[in-house]
């Protein structure tokens, strides 16, 4: 086995292609594995140097809320991982304004800086994506 790229992959039309991936978090942070699994999927996508955007809407906005205390539910606190996103060049974080408002939250209640967009603005952003994964 050599360190050279196999000839069959050299002409691969997808080598070097960057796709726009949008990950939409809609579920509350605890009570299911969705929040944790979405984090893992997002981090894996950055290993392939894709253009990643992350949206928090509906109960997914609670993933970013400060002050999670998971000791009583015996689950790992998933929130601190969102602080590490910047180190993985994941800087496009969006929160739906209507979801924040409906839950009595503001950007000051969140762990990381986000861009707050209306549902209409998020819809426009979604149209620009190549791949959308929602949980």
| Domains of the chain (ranges, CATH numbers) | 18-68+75-134 (3.40.1260.10)
Q: What digits encode the pLDDT tens for the residues 17-48?
A: 889 999 999 998 877 778 878 888 898 888 88
Which residues are registered as beta bridge partners of 92?
Answer: 53
Q: Which residues contact residue 88 at a Cβ distance below 8 angstroms, ignoring those fewer than 6 apart?
A: 43, 46
Q: What digits encode the pLDDT tens for the residues 1-22?
A: 455 555 555 556 666 788 999 9
Please state the pTM of the whole predicted model: 0.82
Residue 128 binned pLDDT confidence (cut-offs 50, 70, 90): very high
């Amino acid at each position: 086995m050599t360190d050279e790229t196999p000839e069959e992959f050299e002409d691969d039309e997808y080598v070097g292609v960057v796709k726009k991936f949008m990950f939409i978090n809609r579920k509350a942070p605890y009570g299911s594995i969705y929040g944790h699994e979405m984090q893992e999927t997002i981090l894996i996508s950055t290993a392939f140097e894709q253009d990643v955007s992350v949206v928090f809407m509906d109960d997914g906005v609670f993933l970013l809320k400060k002050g999670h205390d998971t000791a009583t539910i015996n689950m790992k606190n998933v929130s601190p991982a969102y602080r590490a996103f910047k180190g993985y060049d994941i800087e496009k974080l969006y929160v739906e304004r209507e979801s924040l408002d409906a839950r009595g939250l503001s950007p000051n209640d969140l762990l990381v800086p986000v861009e707050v967009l209306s549902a209409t603005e998020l819809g426009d952003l979604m149209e620009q994506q190549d791949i959308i994964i929602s949980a």
